[in-house]
Amino acid sequence: MRTNTDCTLYAKTIVNGAEVYTRSVILAVMWENRKAANVIRSGPIEADAVRVFIPFARGALSFKAGDVLVKGVVTDTVGTGFTLSALKAKYANAVTVRSVDTMDYGSPALQHWQIGAS
């Protein structure tokens, strides 16, 4: 699989009723920005989206809807001093995971997760 960048995963968990984000750097992924627009009766709306392809070779990772991905290596820690909103404002390529597909067919070099995000 060809790769074009690294990314940072902020995995969302709920601890004592509060959202906690754990940061992990994932090296060598394929990040694909897609520009699109949907036209509905009331007019066009943006449908921009991102697809990220992460090879299984990157290790035992877990992704779920609500996690956040940022293109590139990011060192900021989301917590009380730096919020998720601040992260998204600081990085234009910060997206929220909407779907996760496991592509576990073919040779090990082709097996990957396909993340849909916006």
Work out whether the CA dihedral 72, 77, 79, 80 comes out positive or negative. Answer: negative
> How confident is the prediction along the chain (118 residues), in pLDDT tens digits per residue?
789 999 999 999 999 988 899 999 999 999 998 766 556 666 554 455 899 999 999 988 999 999 999 999 999 999 888 999 999 999 999 999 999 999 999 999 999 999 999 8
User: Tokens standing for 103?
Assistant: 């592509």
Output the CA–CA distances (angstroms, integers) from residue 99 to 62, 96, 113, in the order listed: 12, 9, 10
Enclosing H/E stretch for 49: strand 49-55
Specify the pTM.
Answer: 0.86
